[in-house]
Amino acid sequence: MRYAIISDIHGNLEGLRAVLRECSLAQVQALLCAGDIVGYGANPKECLAIIRQFKAMAVAGNHDWAVGGRLDFSHFTDDGRAAVEWTRSQISMEDIAYLNALELSVKNKDLILVHASLYQPQEFRYMTDVSKAMESFALMDVPVCFIGHTHVPGVFVQADGKSYYLDNSTVEIQPRYKYIVNAGSVGQPRDGNPMAGFCIYDTGLQTIELRRVPYNIHEAQRKILEAGLPRNLAFRLAVGK
Ligand SMILES: [Fe+2]
């Protein structure tokens, strides 16, 4: 099976379309979404329609549940809170029901998918170092877990009792090792690279590829400004921070 894992789309339709074009060229067979379909960007409705149309296996991000009403978002940044309120005004009751029905994690025979971490997923903790990854490795009964949330792509590996971090773009899966793969962000990358990020997992080749694809950032920015969303949400797209 050739999976594409996308995360943190955040209502960025231009980023999502560019990633889906790349997925089609790469002959992806199934689309998985690690959460945060909405929030920040100007096209939450359109992004939700695409994810639902693809019947993507998807999990809840903190922004998805905040918009749906399932998560207290008083601790979000000013920009984040403004985006939640604006997004609520743009989507249908059916969209809200879809967001609230998303589970914290889903699993199949090949992988497990969660937005932030397997350890206390409802807390939406940022997996920013190996010690945090180890809490989740302990809970894995399949070899590969895909996450998002930090908007920074990378791979945590556990091998022979040792855990470490790789920022390689391609990883060959080794037997008996465990992997937690952050797919990066389609709609608001924060690693200094403004291109849309996503991941391809090929179970036949046993490879994981972290990919980047250019998209029409200018158009995504224009829509954010036109919608009256916080201006910084447009500016940051150009710098990937
Ligand atoms: Fe996010």
Query: Stretch 205-232: mean pLDDT, rounded?
Result: 98
Total number of domains constituting the chain: 1
Query: Stretch 107-124: mean pLDDT, rounded?
Result: 97
What confidence tens digit (pLDDT) does each residue in 4-43 have? 999 999 999 999 999 999 999 999 999 999 999 999 999 9
3-state SS, one letter per residue, for the chain: CEEEEECCCCCCHHHHHHHHHHHHHCCCCEEEECCCCCCCCCCHHHHHHHHHHCCCEECCCHHHHHHHCCCCCCCCCHHHHHHHHHHHHHCCHHHHHHHHHCCCEEECCCCEEECCCCCCHHHCCCCCCHHHHHHHHCCCCCCEEEECCCCCCEEEEEECCEEEEECCCEEECCCCCEEEEECCCCCCCCCCCCCEEEEEEECCCCEEEEEEECCCHHHHHHHHHHHCCCHHHHHHHHHCC
What pLDDT score was predicted for residue 198? 98
What pLDDT score was predicted for residue 161? 84
Range of the domain at 73: 2-239
What pLDDT score was predicted for residue 217? 98
Distance 64 CA to ligand 1 centre (A): 9
Distance, in Å, from the CA atom of 114 to the CA atom of 127, rounded to the nearest integer, reads: 12
Distance 141 CA to ligand 1 centre (A): 26
Distance 74 CA to ligand 1 centre (A): 16
What's the half-sphere exposure (Cβ side, CA atoms, 13 Å) at 216?
A: 8
Residues less than 5 Å from ion ligand 1, measured at CB: 8, 36
In the predicted model, what is the mean pLDDT of the chain?
97
Distance 211 CA to ligand 1 centre (A): 18
What confidence tens digit (pLDDT) does each residue in 126-148 have? 999 999 999 999 999 999 999 99
What pLDDT score was predicted for residue 168? 84
What pLDDT score was predicted for residue 98? 98
The CATH number of the domain where 185 resides is what?
3.60.21.10
Distance, in Å, from the CA atom of 108 to the CA atom of 156, rounded to the nearest integer, reads: 20
